Structure 1
């Protein structure tokens, strides 16, 4: 029989580890009556009943997984003849497959299996297995990034979980709901018939109907939902995030001191941040007339931040926003806890622990470089060639890029090519691609042989992606040179540095094919405050457009620090990106992606292929 050799291999592996087989077990014994995996495998090898054999094998694979021996379980699953599996064994087989995939963390396999099974699989499994199956199948759909199916699976779980488990379970439900697109959420609400999904969907839709920055309306929506659905599992064990949002009106700062350089060399950036902050303040007041915030503004160029902060101790505001200069932050090294919470608008490394109640937020280029490293990892680019300017900024970017790569499990190669302003970029690219080395090898070969030959230079073949850290003026020269030197097939990634922020198709057509990351303020055409501020302050907008967005987000962050700090994984969608708080109080940003096409940036998503302009 074809199945016997593979079964015997698995059985041999287990027996060779010193395990014993159940003595004298009848050949038709029910799977659950066997005490050992080895007994199940021996019975599977002995029986001629194909259906019973499958039951033995599946029970053995499940027990192996329970013991943490996923490789042996996978080998056993691979040995099975699945074409003739009945419906019930087939369902168990797919569940055990899902457990294996979640254990391995394989997104590709998760996507494939998720497309072949239904969330209703849970309800068709034996009743004593459904609790575990809910956890495993939800994990499969989470790994496959299918939040709607995750939600549907989790709705099956309330019948089998205890009320004591509702809190973490509801948190998982809410995470799935937050990721479901609006249209899918509305469609799901229209088809829901059971109270549990109906309640959750009503809550999610009511919160999406309110402005995401309006604190009081969102808090009231949650409180009203709890009142209307007082016996709902979600209302009785509200997810942490919703519990904090419901109390944010009581926690929001009522007195804020904004400390920025409004005179001197940095007055331009300081004023741009101030105008963004004030624009958000008035926007918030329009969305929520109950907003009651007293704002004072202080020029850090007159007296310095340390002196201003000391004076503020007497006024005792609820929050200080600023300073903007790194040097002003460096003076806080000797603090263990800030008497008044500070939301600083820059980042500075601390040798020891960061002072308590100090939060750092800014437009750090390191965030963008880390995001490029993540995208390279997700697109399976293993060997990157980084073109970075000479000087301190370029060195910091390379260091951040290498540090981000070190956190992945893959062995990846990064090679940096540095260039100076005004340098011959033709030579920089040729050297980076090892074109000159190729020519030298050919010339040496002709000298050695005395023969004249024709050859075509080749670029180095050990790179599969380019990271370009350059301003638009340099990038418009670099990109055509990549194609000229036989690198037209390589995807090119860049930061917001290479885009001025306003479409310029006639000049930026030389950037076609480059994928780059930037803030929603620049790439999202639905931003409403940006054109208003640009019209009111044209000179500031031309030079410091992105700092308007920093000011806007710093205002909204001020009221959301509690939820960012207390709810692990909580994210705020802002004008500078999706924001989350790291354990040390630093706010990290995740920007959005675009690619130049016909000189204009076109938005990308994570599934978009990385194609060069000439190959689309």
Structure 2
């Protein structure tokens, strides 16, 4: 039996109402002629059919459950689909494999990926029909795609596509899922997929053409014509008018006149000045003819009046979260493409509202991905006992638990005096010292001894600022046992200070950290910006330097935003990092890795392979065992 939606027609019951027993004269105005009345048919949705099935027995119950199952798919009522399938499982005549695939579909749609994967794994040896095999591969791909693993998802999608094409099957949403996954791949990854069957190569080449010619109508049109001649009757043909040709509409924003909302008064005025310098520097290397600065600290009404003075092509800002909320209902901002310089507390669904923040959570995720790539098992995090420190620690812990059962060790310090105690306690050096003291008390002669630290910590991540990091590093060096392997040390960009590092690198040998390319003098510096900046503002603080780079990137992001938002695999290399958009029109950053080595800072390439979620790890080991 094929996996398809079967519409069930409910029987219509009709009846005649009883005639009145009292005869009246037709001329009598009180007479109401009795007309045959049709009983309103009972039309039930999936939930109604399931509830009715629960009151029946035998064949009637089974037929109602079938109807509830098919209606649930049409209505996309996944909880009811799961319940109907579980009820059908108790009947021996039900197609076991098909019903299990339906349950896996429901649980996939309900984000219950772990149990869906277990079902699919159990079905591996029981698949015989092509349609079952195709749906099995499709659902496997869906689960990997849901975890942000498009390359792995495509290996399953392409198998499903080949089965569907060979046996003339229809797998709902398969083509859309393939196209979405392909758009998340880099040009390099697409090249590696450009092999295999005609179906696979057709899909990949179409995705490559979109990447190469996006925004270029004539060239894209020519490439699509060539593709159609080469891949006749390919299942991706339907994508051409629906998806790819829409790419012509992704022509960049042409911003000649922009408005910038930044703080020009109050306690944040210094931040606004740093941003303003970055915007003015970017204007010299852009197509912008006119830029108007507006104080975001003004009232919403005053901001609205200033925005209404002329027609702006684009708006940048505000910087402060509260001010983003304040202007969210502005008619000028709602009708004009806008790049906010922070993240809003409430998501904005306006397609032309974008968000760009120097978000430290991105660095935490980047470090975590590297730790997992290196197979580190037990990280230790050191952070200040502040709101921001706790926020980052909790973010790391919440992400880490998706990939490992082992809890990270957390150390929170209140001040510089507390650091040594926290480090010694976490590494269990104090306990070692107590054991040494006990042993020495048992002997009169001098006993040679050396403290030992715990052996399970295999990486340490510091989330303190530059001063705190310089204080913590020596404590870590002296508290790790000489018998143990040196624990690699990592830190976020908070640990780095360009001004402090210029005069004192401290004892930071071996420390890895993430940082903006701009702060490491490694940037898209084709404009020779760093030399000019250092000449103009040699004494600027680190935060001002980072905001300058942010403003510069904000201007150069304007023509990139449409494509970044619509093509997940696309990225822009800016002063603040490698920038992309994945969700909710929010710009994400990938920073550079650097290391202190021989009193110098050296850029390094560290592995960052997308980790496999915990619930998938056993499945992957099972798949590998099948190959052996």
Given that 1:273 and 1:549 are in contact with CA atoms closer than 8 Å, whether structure 2 keeps it comes out as yes
Q: Give the root-mean-square deviation of aligned CA atoms.
A: 5.4
1:538-549 matches, cutoff 5 A: 538=534, 539=536, 543=542, 544-549=544-549
519 and 135 in structure 1: CA distance in 2 versus 1, 3 angstrom threshold: farther
247 and 262 in structure 1: CA distance in 2 versus 1, 3 angstrom threshold: same
CA deviation after TM superposition for structure 1 residue 466, in Å: 1.6
Residue of 475, 478, 486 corresponding to 1:489: 486
Residue of 207, 227, 230 corresponding to 1:229: 227
Given that 2:144 and 2:153 are in contact with CA atoms closer than 8 Å, whether structure 1 keeps it comes out as yes
581 and 513 in structure 1: CA distance in 2 versus 1, 3 angstrom threshold: same
Residue of 292, 307, 313 corresponding to 1:312: 307
2:135 alignment partner in structure 1: 132
- In structure 1, the gaps of 5 or more residues are 1-35, 41-59, 71-98, 110-124, 286-292, 610-616
CA deviation after TM superposition for structure 1 residue 602, in Å: 0.6
Q: Aligned pairs, how many?
A: 490
1:174-573 matches, cutoff 5 A: 175-176=181-182, 178-179=184-185, 182=188, 185=190, 194=198, 196-197=199-200, 199-206=202-209, 209=212, 216-217=215-216, 220-230=218-228, 233-238=235-240, 242=244, 244-249=246-251, 256-261=258-263, 264-275=269-280, 277-278=282-283, 282=286, 295-300=290-295, 307-326=302-321, 328-329=323-324, 331-332=326-327, 339-341=334-336, 342-347=338-343, 349=345, 359-376=354-371, 381=376, 383-389=378-384, 391-405=386-400, 410=405, 412-418=407-413, 420=415, 423=417, 429-443=423-437, 453-461=447-455, 463-472=457-466, 474-476=468-470, 478-486=472-480, 489-500=486-497, 510-519=507-516, 527-529=523-525, 532-538=528-534, 539=536, 543=542, 544-555=544-555, 557-559=557-559, 572-573=571-572
- In structure 2, the gaps of 5 or more residues are 1-88, 106-112, 122-127, 612-628
Greater share of residues in helix:
1
- What is the SS of the residue equivalent to 2:274? helix
1:577 alignment partner in structure 2: 578
1:19 alignment partner in structure 2: none
1:172 alignment partner in structure 2: 178
CA distance in 2, matches of 1:516, 1:234: 44
CA distance in 2, matches of 1:523, 1:155: 46
- What is the SS of the residue equivalent to 2:270? coil
CA deviation after TM superposition for structure 1 residue 589, in Å: 3.4
TM-score (norm 1): 0.61
- What is the SS of the residue equivalent to 1:216? coil
Residue of 140, 159, 176 corresponding to 2:165: 159
CA distance in 2, matches of 1:150, 1:505: 52
- What is the SS of the residue equivalent to 1:577? strand
228 and 65 in structure 1: CA distance in 2 versus 1, 3 angstrom threshold: same
141 and 248 in structure 1: CA distance in 2 versus 1, 3 angstrom threshold: closer
TM-score (norm 2): 0.60
CA deviation after TM superposition for structure 1 residue 157, in Å: 4.9
The one-character-per-residue Cα deviations of 1:474-517 (angstroms, maximum 9, x if unpaired) are 53553354233126533333212234579989976954544433
CA deviation after TM superposition for structure 1 residue 159, in Å: 1.6
CA distance in 1, matches of 2:192, 2:372: 34
Larger Rg: 2
